[in-house]
Amino acid sequence: MEILAFGVTADEKPLLEQAFAGTHEVRCLEVFLEEDTAPIAAGYEIVSSSVNADLSGRVLRMLAAGGTKMITQRSTGFNNIDLDEARRLGMTVSRVSYYSPYSVAEFAWALAMAVNRRLVRATTRTRDFDFRLNGLMGRDFHGRTVGVLGTGKIGAAFTRIAHGFGMRLLGWDVVQNPACLELGMAYVDKDELLASSDLISLHVPLLDSTRHLIDAAALRRMRDDAILVNSSRGGLIDTEALVDELRAGRFEGVGLDVYEAEAGVFFTDKSLETVEDDTLARLVTFPHVVVTSHQAYYTTDAVGQIIDTTVANVADYLAGRRSENTLVPPE
């Protein structure tokens, strides 16, 4: 059987082809799965999508009309998929429920360090042979307070690194993680965490209940010299409210690997186009803000696990099995 994979990067393609070698052929496309590209999938029973795919009801109906019966998404998040419509159409949908939490946790710390120690500004200067230190002063994280919103696998990995820095640990989650408690984390309510933390990092899924978890009111509760990092989902932050606070001169720094309106922008080259998103255009102009393109997961270890799980999802579908990765089971 030939499987069609959308949104495959140049780094990912050889790994994906190798993983399916000997069992199935895989056709890899760089284009993302959306309404305009869905017709390409006609005749393919199994389709693999990337995290930024548009799997709305309309796209799912187009896929089903072309003969697609199974979608396996190469990501943990699935808020882009209309699961109710998939059930109605009788389509099987799977995801990757787990991959290396260290990839995202370590990248979140890379963002925190980059904004704290002004690394982007420093490297830009030295490329121009400007070696002055003015404006590059950061702070020790040791002895300061970190607030971790979401203490699952990734949040716990982030917390272990914070513990290594010698930080005071605050956490917020619906369930307390024993591993974090052992490290000395104190669980508090969200308002207290926001008001007390020097560094705040987001590690919660994007749900209706967590959309704009960091809204205008939450941002106002944060310290003026706080650092905010988001390597989870862009919709957790009200970006327009964040820009307003930044314009007012607040926050020591902000590191964002995700953006709530990133669909159709991230993972693409827009360097020769006019930027139509005024909020994003303003956001990247602040000297103490670092924006990266949803790359926290992008390590050989994590991508390898994502691909291995995708292979297993296909095997489960063909065998009529379900697993922890199954979002909509086969009929």
DSSP string covering 257-287, please? S--TT-TTTTTS--TTS----HHHHHHTT-T
> What residue spans of 96-228 are helical by DSSP H?
101-116, 119-127, 153-165, 178-182, 190-196, 216-221
Annotated active-site residue 276? The verdict is no
Retrieve residue 300's tokens.
Answer: 């050989």
* Options 34, 118, 233, 260, the catalytic residue: 233
199-202: strand order across its sheet? 186-187, 168-172, 145-149, 199-202, 227-230, 253-256, 289-291
Q: Distance (Å, rounded) from C-alpha 299 to C-alpha 101?
A: 11
* Options 34, 245, 260, 262, the catalytic residue: 262
- Note whether 213 and 258 are within 8 A (CB): no
Q: Distance (Å, rounded) from C-alpha 66 to C-alpha 48?
A: 15
Residue 44 main-chain phi, psi, to 5 deg: -100, 120
Annotated active-site residue 142? The verdict is no
Q: Distance (Å, rounded) from C-alpha 74 to C-alpha 125?
A: 38
What count of Cα atoms within 13 Å lies in the side-chain half-sphere of residue 205?
13
Quote the DSSP letter at residue 164. H
Q: Distance (Å, rounded) from C-alpha 158 to C-alpha 151?
A: 9
* Options 294, 321, 324, 331, the catalytic residue: 294
Annotated active-site residue 233? The verdict is yes
Catalytic residues: 233, 262, 294
